[in-house]
């Protein structure tokens, strides 16, 4: 375990673990955020001029986005230009004092700066390095630029999103990057565990490809193609081979999702909507029979939901012990008492434009009973912790720091 910057650190199960985040945009910073929420000290390196571009993504007012405030929370911002010889040397020195490095540059970029993992391990043998890239550190596509949107396409997800008679669509989220970030955390924790158990002679290198992170959630689509020659297609709001499970319209213009696809739930579902005839029909006793007539069942369900409001449908389903819920916008989520009771809606004072406002941010997932994660501060100002980290951790003098600032290295 690396030495600590100070005796007092954050709580959580990762207390005492120090992470150096060299990534930008979403994937590596997502991994850093998760580690920081559970107690790791995460030092984020940013360019002195502008910093991480996410600072201005989805920015509607002011000069710092809420996306940055969210994805960089609990991190320390240190400005270093790694492209310079002096900047790369500072990162090399910092790497001696950390347990994990998380990066998402194109393969070979760290090596070009003299920061290859094996080089860094010469001074820190147990260093765990998480490398997130579009296609991984090997293979014929290794050197291609890769973003989460492309990974969602090549990993198979976009092909399944939307309706069969329309072009593939995307979610209005960076889901590929988020998945890769989560796999990065899993890999980092496994590397730390192996080191702690004395199972590894050197620190682990974790190779996460954005395309493979997406591909990994494709369930049985590939083996179904191999076994049956079936290519899973876009099916709108229907999931192939499972019925009834869909999105249904309500009288007030809203929509509910109902999952009535297990045998016992199906019986309760049909009884609740007054279709005992469908509950008793032997054709629908199991999922294969129901899936063969999925469109017919969905029509019957829609006739019932269309005569009731969203609230009435959900109430009836809850009473019948059938999984169901409304399709929420973020406005609905913020207004929901369950999200608030679960501490998924955290209000923090934050500067927006020329004044401060009380803004709601997402809570920490997962919830740990004994050592829960927490939001200690929102995404920091650019370079807010440069002085603290470089003088405290590396012992750089004030004069040396001033000189580095003048040369725009930090």
The string of pLDDT tens digits covering residues 53-79 is 999 999 998 899 999 999 999 999 999
* Nearest CA among 83, 218, 234, 226 for reference residue 160: 234
Using 50, 70 and 90 to split pLDDT, how confident is the model at 8? Answer: very low
Strand partners, 362: 345
Query: How do residues 115-130 score in pLDDT, each as one tens digit?
Result: 999 999 999 999 999 9
CB atoms < 10 A from the CB of 329, how many? 9
Query: How do residues 302-324 score in pLDDT, each as one tens digit?
Result: 999 999 999 999 999 999 999 99
Using 50, 70 and 90 to split pLDDT, how confident is the model at 154? Answer: very high
Query: How do residues 321-371 score in pLDDT, each as one tens digit?
Result: 999 999 999 999 999 999 999 999 999 999 898 889 999 999 999 999 999
- Does residue 1 carry a pLDDT above 50? no
* Nearest CA among 108, 145, 133 for reference residue 211: 133
Looking at residue 353, what is its pLDDT?
Answer: 82
pTM of the model: 0.93
CB atoms < 10 A from the CB of 249, how many? 14
Helix segments in 50-147, DSSP class H: 66-71, 85-95, 109-112, 117-120
- Does residue 114 carry a pLDDT above 60? yes
Looking at residue 200, what is its pLDDT?
Answer: 85
Which residues carry out catalysis? Answer: 177
Strands 255-259 and 75-79: unpaired
**Backbone CA torsion sign across 289, 293, 295, 301:** negative
- Does residue 3 carry a pLDDT above 90? no
Q: What homologous superfamily does CATH list for 245-326? A: formyl-coa transferase, domain 3 (3.30.1540.10)
Looking at residue 354, what is its pLDDT?
Answer: 84
Q: What homologous superfamily does CATH list for 18-217+360-406? A: Crotonobetainyl-coa:carnitine coa-transferase; domain 1 (3.40.50.10540)
Looking at residue 112, what is its pLDDT?
Answer: 96
- Taking each helix axis from N to C terminus, what angle separates 263-272 and 310-319, rounded to the nearest 10 degrees? 130
CA distance 77 to 134: 25
* Nearest CA among 237, 132, 239 for reference residue 178: 132
Do 97 and 2 contact (CB within 8 A), yes or no?
Answer: yes
CA distance 297 to 294: 5
Query: How do residues 236-264 score in pLDDT, each as one tens digit?
Result: 888 888 999 999 999 999 999 999 999 99
Chain centroid, CA 116 distance in Å: 26
**Backbone CA torsion sign across 144, 148, 150, 156:** positive
215 — phi, psi (to 5°)?
A: -55, -35
CA distance 52 to 65: 11
Strand partners, 56: none
Give, in order, the Cα–Cα distances in Å from 21 to each of 46, 159, 188, 264, 362: 9, 32, 12, 49, 22
User: DSSP strand E in 250-389: where?
Assistant: 255-259, 324-326, 345-352, 355-362
Counting beta carbons within 10 angstroms of the beta carbon of residue 145, is it exposed (0 to 12), middle (13 to 18) or buried (19 or more)? Answer: exposed
Question: Mean pLDDT throughout 181-193?
Answer: 98
CA distance 279 to 285: 8
DSSP-derived letter for residue 2 is: P
Q: Which helix (H) or strand (E) holds 44?
A: strand 41-46
| Beta carbons within 8 Å of 87's beta carbon, 6+ residues apart | 80, 81, 409, 410
Residue ranges of domains in the chain: 18-217+360-406, 245-326
Looking at residue 10, what is its pLDDT?
Answer: 58
Chain-wide mean pLDDT for the chain? Answer: 94
Looking at residue 27, what is its pLDDT?
Answer: 96
């Amino acid at each position: 375990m690396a030495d600590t910057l100070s005796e007092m650190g954050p709580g959580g199960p990762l207390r005492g673990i120090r992470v150096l985040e060299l990534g930008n945009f979403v994937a590596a910073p997502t991994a850093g955020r998760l580690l920081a929420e559970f107690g790791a000290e995460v030092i984020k390196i940013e360019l002195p001029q502008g910093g991480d571009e996410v600072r201005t993504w989805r920015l509607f007012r002011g000069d710092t986005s809420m996306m940055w405030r969210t994805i960089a929370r609990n991190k320390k911002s240190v400005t270093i230009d790694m492209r310079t010889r002096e900047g790369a040397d500072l990162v090399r020195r910092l790497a001696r004092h950390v347990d994990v490095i998380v990066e998402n540059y194109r393969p070979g970029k760290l090596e070009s700066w003299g920061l290859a993992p094996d080089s860094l391990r010469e001074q820190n043998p147990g260093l765990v390095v998480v490398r997130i890239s579009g296609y991984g550190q090997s293979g014929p596509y290794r050197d291609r630029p890769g973003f989460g949107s492309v990974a969602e396409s090549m990993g198979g997800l976009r092909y399944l999103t939307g309706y069969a008679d329309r072009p593939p669509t995307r979610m209005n989220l960076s889901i590929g990057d988020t998945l890769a970030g989560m796999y990065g955390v899993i890999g980092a924790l496994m590397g730390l565990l192996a080191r702690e158990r004395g199972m590894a002679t050197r620190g682990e290198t974790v190779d996460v490809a954005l395309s493979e992170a997406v591909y990994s959630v494709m369930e049985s689509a590939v083996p179904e193609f191999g076994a049956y020659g079936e290519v899973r297609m876009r099916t709108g709001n229907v999931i192939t081979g499972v019925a009834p499970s869909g999105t249904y319209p309500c009288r007030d213009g809203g929509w509910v999702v109902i999952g009535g696809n297990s045998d016992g739930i199906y019986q309760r579902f049909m009884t609740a909507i007054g279709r005992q005839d469908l509950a008793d029909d032997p054709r629908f006793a199991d999922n294969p029979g129901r899936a063969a007539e999925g469109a017919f069942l969905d029509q019957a369900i829609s006739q019932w939901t269309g005569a009731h409001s969203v609230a009435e449908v959900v109430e009836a389903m809850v009473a019948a012990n059938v999984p169901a819920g409304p399709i929420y916008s973020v406005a609905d989520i913020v207004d929901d008492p369950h999200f608030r009771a679960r501490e998924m809606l955290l209000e923090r004072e934050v500067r927006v434009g020329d004044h401060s406002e009380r803004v709601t941010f997402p809570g920490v997932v997962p919830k740990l009973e004994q050592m829960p994660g927490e939001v200690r501060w929102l995404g920091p100002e650019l370079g807010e912790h440069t002085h603290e980290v470089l003088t405290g951790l590396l012992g750089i003098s004030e004069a040396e720091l001033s000189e580095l600032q003048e040369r725009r290295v930090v």
